[in-house]
Structures are given as C-alpha cells and as structure tokens.
C-alpha cells in the first residue's frame, strides 16, 4: 500500500466520518439519518479490490464505532465483510463502476447500503443487541439507501481522488496490496 494513497484514504475516511457524525445527524427523515460511511468500503472495493475494501471497511467502521454508542467493533466487522464481499464479487464478475454509466455509482450505493443496514442489524442481534429488533426498519431500508444513492457520487469522487487517477485505480484493481 503506497504511503500517499494511504494518507489520502485516511483523510477521506476521517472527513466522511466527521460528516456522518455532524451535519448528517441533522438531516433526518422520519427520525432516520443517512449513513454514508457504508459507502467507503464499497467504493474502496470497486476502485482498489477486495483487500482495499476490507481495510477501508475496518478503518472506517472502527472510526465510527469510536463515536457511536453502538457495540464497539460491530461497524468494523460489518465494514470488513462488506468491503471484502463486494471486492470479491467485483473481481469475479468484472463489475466496475469506474468508467461506467453515471447512474451506476448511485445504484451500487443504494443496493449496498440496503445490504449494509440489514447486515449491521443482523450481526448486532447476533452479538446480543436485542433492542436492534425494535428499530424502525421501514424507515431504515428506505431512507438510508436513498440518501446513500445521493451522497454516493461525492464520496465516490473523493475515494477516486484518494486512489489517484481513474487509470491508476484501474491498474490497482488487478494488483495486490503490498505493505
């Protein structure tokens, strides 16, 4: 993992987590606020592959776990699964939002954040958070994916910048992570 990419990724993660913990908490529809942090591992997986997806998922999840009153480590756990899972799916099927139609990024944001909410809730219940069963799921599976679709484009652009040019990102998709 090259140092400049690492630093830029860290900067984007901190900024998105800060946005999530500040202004986005006020953007509530039916009491539900957007959760754009989930899009970080997804963008990393599509731009950099499964390894980057997992690493960004862990880092972003861990950062948000430090600020949330949720079970510590749960977001990191779900982030790794999402980033790695989407990265593997992307590598095997050739799915690439980069260079595709403009609506592909919001669509991926919508679908994957829907899965992220359900995965977070399911693993939360598995880890003993019984109160997760009482959450407003109708609101969650509509508001979170729809708002993620809107915020996906700026987050995607930020992650593209973090990974370098689009061309560089394309190369990185087929290269391994080296330390």
Partner 1 sequence: MATRRTRRSTTIVTLLLLSAFTIVALSASGTASSFTSGLRSLGSTILSPVVNVMNDVTKPVGHAFEGVFNYGSVTAENARLQAINAQLRSQGLVQSYERHQLSEIDALRNLPFVQNIPLVVAQTMAIDPSNFASTIQISKGRDQGIGVGMPVVGAGGLVGQVILTTKNTATVRLVSDGRSKIGASVGTTSILGIASGQGAGDPLSLDYVAPNSAVKSGQIVYTNGLQGADYPAGIPLGKVSSASTPVNASQMSISLTPLANLSSVAYVDVLLWSPPL
104 vs 118, beta carbon nearer partner 1 = 118
What's the closest the beta carbon of residue 130 comes to partner 1, in angstroms? 7
The smaller minimum CB distance to partner 1, of residues 122 and 157, is found at: 122
Q: Whose CA is closest to 47, among 155, 133, 147, 144?
A: 155
Residues of this chain that interact with partner 1 (CB under 8 A) are: 14-15, 17-19, 21-23, 25-29, 31-33, 35, 50-51, 54-55, 57-58, 61-63, 65-74, 76-77, 79-81, 84, 117, 120-121, 124, 127-136, 140, 144, 176-177
State which residue, 28 or 167, has the beta carbon closest to partner 1.
Answer: 28
99 vs 125, beta carbon nearer partner 1: 125
Q: How far is the CB of 75 from partner 1 (least distance, A)?
A: 9
How far is it, in rounded angstroms, from Cα 77 to Cα 33? 21
Q: How far apart are CA 78 and CA 74, in angstroms?
A: 6
CB of 7 to partner 1, least distance (A): 15
Nearest-10 Cα torsion for 94, 162, 178, 171: 40
DSSP category for residue 32: B
Q: How far is the CB of 151 from partner 1 (least distance, A)?
A: 13
Two structure tokens written together for 34: 């957007």
Question: Of 173, 177, 1, 3, which is closest to residue 92 (Cα–Cα)?
Answer: 173
C-beta closer to partner 1: residue 132 or 156: 132
């Amino acid at each position: 993992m090259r140092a400049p990419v690492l630093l830029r990724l860290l900067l984007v993660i901190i900024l998105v987590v800060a946005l999530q913990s500040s202004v986005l908490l006020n953007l509530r529809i039916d009491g539900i606020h957007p959760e754009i942090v989930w899009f970080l591992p997804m963008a990393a997986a599509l731009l950099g592959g499964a390894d980057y997806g997992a690493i960004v998922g862990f880092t972003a999840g861990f950062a948000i776990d430090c600020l949330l009153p949720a079970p510590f480590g749960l977001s990191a756990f779900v982030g790794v699964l999402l980033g790695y899972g989407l990265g593997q799916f992307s590598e095997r099927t050739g799915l690439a939002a980069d260079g595709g139609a403009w609506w592909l990024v919001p669509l991926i944001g919508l679908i994957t954040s829907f899965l992220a909410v359900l995965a977070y809730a399911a693993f939360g219940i598995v880890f003993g958070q019984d109160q997760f069963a009482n959450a407003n799921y109708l609101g969650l599976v509509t508001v979170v994916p729809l708002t993620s679709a809107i915020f996906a484009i700026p987050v995607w652009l930020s992650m593209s910048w973090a990974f370098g040019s689009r061309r560089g990102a394309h190369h990185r998709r087929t290269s391994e992570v080296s330390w």
